[in-house]
Chains A and B, each alone.
Chain A
């Protein structure tokens, strides 16, 4: 069974400080990993995915298969980064196992 763990329910950092949101996964095959974000009163939206290897809004995430992790990082936090962040995994084989989400981390950026 596939599983995604986000160990921090709440993460509070000061503006300008580095941010790292942790995500660990359990999956026997080759997963596809995503980060979704939900800003206050907005819809859940895709932030980035590991296969695209992009930097979105200054965020990056690297898939570490050895440590089964996909941590989200940003060198300098901004107040507009405050939101709920969800790590998600899609199993291989056409995604037949569905999209599995972590419980989410509430990121608060203090001024």
Chain B
């Protein structure tokens, strides 16, 4: 079974631009969660989608948004990029809603650099 895939793997953007990252979960998985990883803050939860609905949201500004499609693929968008948004963005999928305790499987991440 193919693992979680994320595209693109690397991205360089300029301050003020917007960016869209994509995540394809493991086949059959219905929940997708997004995390931001930085050297200073570590791994921080962004949001979780299940059945095309955002179920949970971390403490991030409204510039960070996401969505999930009917095939469970998910995208996250960051508008008006700031230098501090430079990070590794990880996507994780689980069979069902993570809150029920299902194991999460992580993707390789997208490395975003904002200049």
Contacts and interface: CB of A to CB of B under 8 A. Distances in A.
Interface of A: 32, 43-46, 49, 51, 86, 88, 90, 93-104
Nearest to A103: B42
Tell me what chain A mostly uses at the interface: helix, strand, loop, or mixed: mixed
B106 A95 contact: no
Interface of B: 3-4, 33, 35, 42-45, 48, 55-58, 90, 92, 97-101, 103-108
Contacts of A49: 101, 103
B103 A46 contact: yes
B110 to A, nearest CB: 13
Contact of A90 (B43, B90, B98): B98
A43 B43 contact: no
Contacts of A32: 101
A102 B106 contact: no
